[in-house]
Structure 1
Amino acid sequence: MESEDLQKLLTFAMPYGKYQGRVIADLPGYYLNWFARVGFPNGELGRLLALMQEIDHNGLKSLLDPLRK
């Protein structure tokens, strides 16, 4: 994980699918878990989705709250 990755979770939008346009930090947990089951996409998108899934799975979404302000 890079230091700027947490900020990217709040600014990087899903480029396709049901949640197109929604920032990764706001994706529902079941959608992140689906990616964990079927496989994350390649590249930065997949890396950020995997990071967000870990944060969500471990109940750490509140860590992003100070960055939202």
Structure 2
Amino acid sequence: MDMMNDPAKGNSDILRELLHYQMPFGKYKGHLIRTLPISYLEWFVQKGFPAGKLGMLLQTMYEIRLNGLEYLLDGLRKGN
């Protein structure tokens, strides 16, 4: 079963990517997306998230921070 047919699996994969995905450009180039300051993520909310996978990961991280869900990533990190 692929991610399109199993939403729970897809969500888990996205969270796992946030553990190691690095910002490819800008002021925080090379920093892990999960460590970006909320102010930087809020800037993308105002200006628009990039297209594609990077934008999706940045938006997901913003939603995690906004809703106090960092424990989801902490739990995955401890499980790895």
Task: State TM-score, norm by structure 2.
Answer: 0.80
Residues 22-68 of structure 1 show CA distances to partners (whole Å, capped at 9, x for unaligned) of 11111111111110111000010000000000000111112111222
The answer for the alignment partner of 2:25 in structure 1 is 16
- 1:7 corresponds, among 5, 16, 23, to 16
Secondary structure, counterpart of 1:4 in structure 2: helix
Structure 1: which 5+ runs fail to align?
A: none
RMSD: 1.2
Structure 1 runs of 4+ aligned residues shifted over 4 Å read: none
Structure 2: which 5+ runs fail to align?
A: 1-6
- 2:61 corresponds, among 23, 48, 52, to 52
CA distance in 2, matches of 1:41, 1:21: 17
Task: State TM-score, norm by structure 1.
Answer: 0.92
AA of the residue aligned to 1:20: K
CA distance in 2, matches of 1:62, 1:36: 22
Count of residue correspondences: 69
The answer for the alignment partner of 1:65 in structure 2 is 74
